Amino acid sequence: MTTFPRPRGRPKAFADKTDQNTVQALDRGLMLLERVAARPGMSLSELAAESGEAVATVFRALITLQGHDMVEAEEGGQLWHVGPGAFRVGNAFLRRTKVVERARQPMDALMRDTGETANLGIEAGDEVLFLSQVETHEVIRAFFPPGTKAPMHVSGIGKALLAWYPPHRVQRIIAAKGLERFTSFSHTSEVALVRDLARTRERGYAIDDQERATGMRCVAAPIFNSHGEPVAGLSVSGPAFRVGLSDADRIGALVRTAANQVTEATGGVQP
């Protein structure tokens, strides 16, 4: 019988995700880092209350993270923020792909041509993770700072990706994440969402019509890899009073062209 060596760096229990193979202190520290990132400027007592951990435990974890520059304390009030170490780790993730660099120029052009904010996102953990943004100069505007996450079924980029995913993958994401209602426009049934995804494929771009936030619209198109698989998305977001449904075709064509440029620039192909 032929045997194959185990991949280097992976123990026998690599696929075992049970508690016995996790480091609880590390797990607590990473969850704490996520909370600091999600709500910067929280105090020690607030972090303890939100995490359900003792103040002393949270303090030790924060001091450990601070020692690696992952978090930092605001002088005076002892409010906690993400530190430069977390930024360096995040940059290492972004360097895995050329899409952020290659998308910058098309995003700049999108913002100028539409007058609205341009966004770049990928799927991470069955959610949309925003990687980059070029903000409009308008006072009222959409804002998705890098690292922000959103459910896929109520996101323009999320629906642009889902529309080109195979059906079994869409069903798995729905089963894992559900279809939460955020506004009266949100798709809360699989039938309605799948119907919307079919329309998205036909026209080549997705529309988030106030499905996550009332009064905000988004138009998005997918970016493909060398296998013709959707791996990222570009979008334009803005208030509904400026981004009307009558503007969808014009903006959709611009977003689709920009996404195709990034696909080509990163060696991708249209499916």
How confident is the model over 27-79, as pLDDT tens digits? 888 889 988 888 888 899 999 998 899 999 999 999 999 999 889 988 766 88
Number of structural domains found in the chain: 2
Of 82, 109, 124, the last residue of a domain is 82
Q: Say if residue 135 is in the same domain as residue 251.
A: yes
Strands 127-134 and 117-124: antiparallel
Confidence tier at 20 by pLDDT (50, 70, 90): low
Confidence tier at 143 by pLDDT (50, 70, 90): confident
Q: Phi/psi of residue 255, each to 5°?
A: -65, -40
Residue 4 lies inside a defined structural domain of this protein: no
Of 82, 115, 137, the last residue of a domain is 82
* Whole-Å CA distances, 189 to 177, 186, 192, 208: 13, 9, 5, 16
Determine the pLDDT at residue 76: 67
**Amino acid letter, residue 253:** A
Q: Say if residue 61 is in the same domain as residue 175.
A: no
Residue 23 lies inside a defined structural domain of this protein: yes
Nearest in space to 236 (alpha carbons), one of 116, 137, 102, 130: 116
Q: Say if residue 113 is in the same domain as residue 72.
A: no
pTM assigned to the model: 0.70
What is the total residue count of the chain?
Answer: 271
Q: Say if residue 77 is in the same domain as residue 179.
A: no
State the average pLDDT over residues 267-271.
89
Residue 10 lies inside a defined structural domain of this protein: no
Q: Say if residue 126 is in the same domain as residue 192.
A: yes
Q: Quick one: what percent of the chain has pLDDT higher than 70?
A: 88
Q: Say if residue 172 is in the same domain as residue 258.
A: yes
Tokens of 238: 């803005």
Confidence tier at 93 by pLDDT (50, 70, 90): low
Q: Containing domain of residue 45, as a range?
A: 19-82
Neighbours of 229 (CB within 10 A): 15
Of 54, 82, 110, the last residue of a domain is 82
